[in-house]
Amino acid sequence: MIRFECDYTTGAHPKILEALVNTNGEACPGYGVDIHCERARAMLRELCQAPEAGVHFLVGGTQANTTVIAAALRPHQGALCAETGHINTHESGAIESTGHKVLTLPAENGKITARQIGQYCQDHYDNEAWEHMVQPGMVYLSLPTELGTVYTLAELEEISQTCRRWKLPLFVDGARLACGLAASDVTLPDLARLCDVFYLGGTKAGLLFGEAVVITNPALNHDFRYLIKQRGGMLAKGRLLGVQFETFLKDGLFLEIGRQEVAQAMRLRETFLAKGCPLLVDSATNQQFPILTNGAVSVLKHKYSFEVWEKVDQAHTAVRFCTSWSTTDADVDALIADIQSLSM
Amino acid sequence: MIRFECDYTTGAHPKILEALVNTNGEACPGYGVDIHCERARAMLRELCQAPEAGVHFLVGGTQANTTVIAAALRPHQGALCAETGHINTHESGAIESTGHKVLTLPAENGKITARQIGQYCQDHYDNEAWEHMVQPGMVYLSLPTELGTVYTLAELEEISQTCRRWKLPLFVDGARLACGLAASDVTLPDLARLCDVFYLGGTKAGLLFGEAVVITNPALNHDFRYLIKQRGGMLAKGRLLGVQFETFLKDGLFLEIGRQEVAQAMRLRETFLAKGCPLLVDSATNQQFPILTNGAVSVLKHKYSFEVWEKVDQAHTAVRFCTSWSTTDADVDALIADIQSLSM
Amino acid sequence: MIRFECDYTTGAHPKILEALVNTNGEACPGYGVDIHCERARAMLRELCQAPEAGVHFLVGGTQANTTVIAAALRPHQGALCAETGHINTHESGAIESTGHKVLTLPAENGKITARQIGQYCQDHYDNEAWEHMVQPGMVYLSLPTELGTVYTLAELEEISQTCRRWKLPLFVDGARLACGLAASDVTLPDLARLCDVFYLGGTKAGLLFGEAVVITNPALNHDFRYLIKQRGGMLAKGRLLGVQFETFLKDGLFLEIGRQEVAQAMRLRETFLAKGCPLLVDSATNQQFPILTNGAVSVLKHKYSFEVWEKVDQAHTAVRFCTSWSTTDADVDALIADIQSLSM
Amino acid sequence: MIRFECDYTTGAHPKILEALVNTNGEACPGYGVDIHCERARAMLRELCQAPEAGVHFLVGGTQANTTVIAAALRPHQGALCAETGHINTHESGAIESTGHKVLTLPAENGKITARQIGQYCQDHYDNEAWEHMVQPGMVYLSLPTELGTVYTLAELEEISQTCRRWKLPLFVDGARLACGLAASDVTLPDLARLCDVFYLGGTKAGLLFGEAVVITNPALNHDFRYLIKQRGGMLAKGRLLGVQFETFLKDGLFLEIGRQEVAQAMRLRETFLAKGCPLLVDSATNQQFPILTNGAVSVLKHKYSFEVWEKVDQAHTAVRFCTSWSTTDADVDALIADIQSLSM
């Protein structure tokens, strides 16, 4: 079975693992104030050209999302989000568990626009019953989105401007940001400049686990470590996060892994298109969503793991193939060959 | 200014006020365990043919909704609800403030169906990522709905069956139930039999305030008074609720008020239809939603208060006229005459 | 049975009731933006010499406490409070239900001191594990306290200074403030000047219900109405609160009721002391806590309702007698006579 | 610097690290349903003689505590706990963030008794205002406690009986259970039999991270994975937990590590006692709390890291020395020598 079902099937990239093994015996203080975390923080601030930013290492994405959102909102506020956004669909109500509504906007290919955000705010305050409705209190985006699409820098600039006009903190979920950076014209300094907070995900880019939250809005960063602790995200052996991110950030390893995941996905994309398979959404990153005949799904299932995404019609199903740091050229070659020989 | 903007513009029905005045000097224990509350409880249990039901008197609807929903759900569960449902739109995120997501279903004229509920549950458990999604944990309906429409007994029976099949407590918000009973074939015993919990609203039917929550599911009723207290709904002078509901329930006053509100609204409805005004939704109860020309809105505004509901197109606006216990025949006659003389 | 069990056994003071009856037929907009609420707001601002203060009318004390505390704290913060404070003991966990810990301080006669507050904060930030502990985020006092004692102006000044030094909003629960004003040297302008938020309670001083929340801290007042709605405290017929407070504030009725409740309680206090009954706590307000022999308790129970407070030893019990707006001189005379004739 | 400040300064025990390295390249499904997790579950069920128990692997202790408590309580309930309990003191209000109060009992050496629990419940239901108070809804213990003391099997039996009498789920926090098993007469099957839920901690016993939650109460186990996800505890690469626990449980490694941590701590304890240092509390496990002169603290600080626990008087300070899986005999020998040569 060759696995394309997700980007977290295997352990850590060899360099990450090696760093963990090499530092295993070191005695460090707990909870993320060790030398490795400090170094990784400094590196990330420099990469972001944000010397004052708060940098916090959390274990996972749902944890990062809830902690940031709980920190940013007052009780009567909600987070604006694409209806397909991860916090709306796949976190078992984590945001609501902190007392906040997810305010959804219709999404096109997983993306929302500055115009939609502005209109939502306008409509809210124009409504006579505004105080009886959840106030939009922040904006949540994913880059890339849950459907693999990316925001352009121009789109992000416009969204950021709209957020500032309406005084809404902008939060970018970067669980797959390594791929996002490889596939868009957005850079880390852009994110630091345009967002109030974002994170660079490690779990889906070759770390055992770990998300690096960068907070450029000082009000949001204030007392943030209390919230990490309260929400269960303060890892006792915090050095594990420091060691991994130190390695991930060094010499552009995170960019390299992102580029490689995307490159392999692009080979799959071209194969599907050449074969005449439509794509549910034209993803620029490491998730690809071809629409296959049900017969083709059955054939491929014998040799490959992948995710059934949705039924398109009686005869067709959209599926998801995902590349990861550990996807080999041979894995992709095999899949390409099998796609090419499908009778569609 | 003749007021049709809502059904809570005036104070209490004269009989209610009289009862409050007459009992004002009595000394009673606090928090709803006085003789008036006990009597009102007994009357409501008898009207519902539910001798074992728990009956609790709360001050307002949002309070009733949050308290019931907080009592019914475990943390990972949400409440299924029409997208137009009050808890989804006009309670400032009260449900989310208790940690729970409102799971919305597309509504037709404010109503949802047994089929939709069943399908939602089926889809939830069929999804591979089910444990990453909010579990449907109860169903919330309004009778009448926020758009004035009513469920038929057959529809309610079917919804109740579906809820029991999926083990979902069924909760009916009866903020305007007095009108609902007047305009549908559903009775209090039906509600007691088919729901796990519902309430009979007083605020919008001639009380100063007050909603009578009837809980027929013993698990839900267990310890419910702690929750009332915790959610701020335990009125110190609880006797005020008892006295009002005693009077409201006696000799069918609640039915009489409901029937009267509906009858006056029907006169308006017929006048709009006769005039050729389309209705945004064909409401059977005390809220009417005609679509007027913008010119007609301007004319009527000089003499009547009513709510602008939504813009329909450049030239037309849907508005809401609401009758209440204190709407007089003269009020309605005047409005009818003015509608008839509109140049549309 | 003559009732001294609490200060909310009867309905409304005749002037309050009369105002409700007289305005019953008026049609007003809902949710507290009517003319009566506006007038009452203006009167209270003037009485407080706080022309910019936000004034909000809520139904009950637990509701007021939770709404204010939810508005004031970030998620990692708690409310400092006497261990005997109402929010810690008798609100069924309402504060915790909003996500916040009640941080308790040992209380002497229900009161805490500026020194305790300062020390708590100092200790918090001195502790190496400070970020693993709940941050003190505000201070909650009651005036009078749950034991009927009052803070002096000097004490309140000192507490206020300490709160400002540590940037802690100061919140005074005034559920019985009418009595507190009668029994202390603190005035409404003092409260407005020294607190960030406080409330003047109506329920326990002759209203049917109602607490007037005064917010002088603009950051706390911002968007407060959303929170009232979310927490279930937005009364549909908000005019009921306006009408009652208008009357309560007019010509010093609230002061008169407070003074009368206190005066009657002082007659009881003197009688107990003259009889040689020790007091559990020497209360200056309308609650009195004599320690009686169990025999005396049994005798008095036949004719009077009062609350058993706590067992003091095998032979003695502390009880609570409470005067209210409706306690008559005859009630007090009767009780005094019976106390005097007790064989202790 | 030789580190005795806590038991999570170093990485993983060599066997654990080796297992992680050896399995790093395996492709596994995510979220804890992989073969390693399944094997570790089966091993733990067998060790507990609880074939039906639910076993869930979470990353950290605060996460485990909040998830279990959120799963166990209804909104009006709180968790009974020693005032020194971790959830009360060092989790930044995590429990309150889920809406629940921590109900504290005075603790002796970190321990509470069956009698205290029973009395608390009796007092709760005897109180006239019971519904206005937080209902005791479960009991939380730590084994060992935060002060290193242990419950005996007899004590645990008695507590369990009391819990069952009052229908309170019993939850044992086993963050340091490996040491607890080494230092008490309680076994894993005892815990499985007497508790509703407990966990075996890995973080403080040689794992990189990880706590194994064992739930024997089926009602509590139902839908527990939704809650893990919602509370941010569902590790994407769940196999990391499976691999570590598989190794930890195999051939009694967890017992061996626990025994070794305790043995080294006992050598320190004897040295302190021989030297005439009193102990703040006589701990049976890997944390030792000697009371040293301030001078001795200063001397030892140059060479050893340890935690200042509390000031005892002007001249003396209680400190904590903690042994861990990586504490060597040489570390302990050095410290012993230096203690012996202190001039006290």
pLDDT of C137-191, one tens digit each? 999 999 999 999 999 999 999 999 999 999 999 999 999 999 999 999 999 999 9
For chains C and D, what is the number of CB pairs under 8 angstroms?
A: 59
Output the pLDDT for position D14. 98
Q: Which residues of D touch B99 (CB under 8 A)?
A: 98-99
Q: What does the pLDDT look like over D174-221, one tens digit per residue?
A: 999 999 999 999 999 999 999 999 999 999 999 999 999 999 999 999
Question: Residue B233's closest CA among C227, C92, A101, A99?
Answer: C92
pLDDT > 70: what percent of chain A? Answer: 100
Output the pLDDT for position A1. 87
**Contact yes or no for C324/C10 (Cβ under 8 A):** yes
E strand or H helix at C153: helix C153-165
> Which of C99, C128, C133 has its CB closest to that of D96?
C99
Q: Which residues of B touch A102 (CB under 8 A)?
A: 101
The dihedrals phi and psi of C196, each to the nearest 5 degrees, come to -90, -30
Q: Which residues of B touch A81 (CB under 8 A)?
A: none
Output the pLDDT for position C317. 96
| Whether A75 and B89 lie within 8 Å, measured CB to CB | no
Query: For an interface test with C, which of B1, B8, B303, B307 has the most C Cβ atoms less than 10 Å from its Cβ?
Result: B8
| Whether A99 and B100 lie within 8 Å, measured CB to CB | no
Q: Which residues of B touch D (CB under 8 A)?
A: 31, 70-71, 74-76, 98-99, 131-132, 135, 223, 225-227, 229-230, 234
Task: Tell me how far apart the alpha carbons of residues B299 and B317 are, in angstroms, rounded to a whole number.
Answer: 13
Which band of pLDDT confidence, cut at 50, 70 and 90, is reported for residue B225? very high
Both structure tokens of B329: 């025949």
Give, in order, the Cα–Cα distances in Å from B271 to each of B147, B324, B341, D56: 19, 18, 11, 65
| Whether D76 and B234 lie within 8 Å, measured CB to CB | no
Tokens 């740091």 identify what position?
A: A325
Output the pLDDT for position C106. 98
Residue B139 pairs in a beta bridge with B80, B170
Residue C46 has pLDDT above 80, yes or no: yes
Collapsed DSSP state (helix, strand, coil) of residue D34: coil
| Paired sense of beta strands A304-305 and A2-3, if any | parallel
| Whether D28 and A9 lie within 8 Å, measured CB to CB | yes
pLDDT > 90: what percent of chain B? Answer: 99
> Which of D6, D27, D94 has its CB closest to that of A10?
D27
Output the pLDDT for position D134. 98
> Which of B76, B226, B234 has its CB closest to that of D227?
B76
Which band of pLDDT confidence, cut at 50, 70 and 90, is reported for residue B234? very high
| Whether A99 and B102 lie within 8 Å, measured CB to CB | no
Domains of chain D, first to last: 2-6+256-340 (3.90.1150.10), 14-253 (3.40.640.10)
Triad C102, B226, B69: Cα angle to 5°: 100
Output the pLDDT for position A343. 80
Collapsed DSSP state (helix, strand, coil) of residue A135: strand
> Which of B75, B90, B133 has its CB closest to that of A129?
B90
| Paired sense of beta strands B287-288 and B307-311, if any | unpaired
Triad C202, C204, C206: Cα angle to 5°: 65
Which band of pLDDT confidence, cut at 50, 70 and 90, is reported for residue C307? very high
Max alpha carbon distance in chain B (Å)?
63
Task: Tell me how far apart the alpha carbons of residues D247 and D265 are, in angstroms, rounded to a whole number.
Answer: 24
Task: Tell me how far apart the alpha carbons of residues B228 and B219 are, in angstroms, rounded to a whole number.
Answer: 15
> Which of D31, D76, D226 has its CB closest to that of B230?
D76
**Contact yes or no for A208/A20 (Cβ under 8 A):** yes
pLDDT > 70: what percent of chain B? Answer: 100
**Contact yes or no for A241/A34 (Cβ under 8 A):** no
Task: Tell me how far apart the alpha carbons of residues C243 and A268 are, in angstroms, rounded to a whole number.
Answer: 72
Give, in order, the Cα–Cα distances in Å from A67 to each of A50, A143, B88, C177, D87: 21, 18, 24, 39, 19
E strand or H helix at B263: helix B253-275
| Whether B78 and A96 lie within 8 Å, measured CB to CB | yes
Output the pLDDT for position B22. 98
**Contact yes or no for C11/B237 (Cβ under 8 A):** yes
Q: Which residues of D touch C84 (CB under 8 A)?
A: none
Tokens 């009002």 identify what position?
A: B244
Q: Which residues of C touch A (CB under 8 A)?
A: 31, 70-71, 74-76, 98-99, 131-132, 135, 223, 225-227, 229-230, 234
Q: What is the mean pLDDT of each run of 10 residues along chain D (344 residues)?
A: 94 98 96 97 98 98 98 98 97 97 97 98 95 98 98 98 98 98 98 98 98 98 98 97 98 98 98 96 98 95 94 95 97 96 83
Cβ of A320: how many Cβ atoms within 10 Å? 20
| Whether C101 and D90 lie within 8 Å, measured CB to CB | no
Output the pLDDT for position D343. 81
Low-confidence ranges of chain A (pLDDT < 50): none
CA distance, residue C202 to nearest chain D CA (Å): 20
The ipTM (two decimal places) reads 0.96
CA dihedral B323, B329, B332, B336 (to 10 degrees): 150
Q: Which residues contact B66 (CB under 8 A, 6 or more apart)?
A: B91, B94, B95, B97, B98, B231, C232
For chains A and C, what is the number of CB pairs under 8 angstroms?
A: 42
> Which of A93, A133, A134 has its CB closest to that of B101?
A93
Tokens 């069952």 identify what position?
A: D164
Task: Tell me how far apart the alpha carbons of residues A112 and A107 are, in angstroms, rounded to a whole number.
Answer: 5
| Whether B223 and D98 lie within 8 Å, measured CB to CB | no
φ/ψ region of B292 (left if φ > 0, alpha if ψ in -120 to 50, else beta) reads beta
Give chains near C: 3+ CB pairs under 8 A. Answer: A, B, D
Give, in order, the Cα–Cα distances in Å from C102 to each of C42, C78, C115, C134, C165: 33, 6, 18, 9, 21
Cβ of C230: how many Cβ atoms within 10 Å? 27
| Whether D26 and A10 lie within 8 Å, measured CB to CB | yes
Question: Residue B20's closest CA among B150, B224, B202, B226?
Answer: B202
Residue C61 has pLDDT above 80, yes or no: yes
Residue B1 has pLDDT above 90, yes or no: no
Residue B51 has pLDDT above 80, yes or no: yes
φ/ψ region of D161 (left if φ > 0, alpha if ψ in -120 to 50, else beta) reads alpha
Q: Which residues of A touch C227 (CB under 8 A)?
A: 75-76
Collapsed DSSP state (helix, strand, coil) of residue C168: coil
DSSP string, B90-117: SSTTHHHHTT--EEEE--BTTB--HHHH
Give chains near A: 3+ CB pairs under 8 A. Answer: B, C, D
Q: What does the pLDDT look like over B195-219, one tens digit per residue?
A: 999 999 999 999 999 999 999 999 9
For the segment C270-295, the average pLDDT, to the nearest whole number, is 96
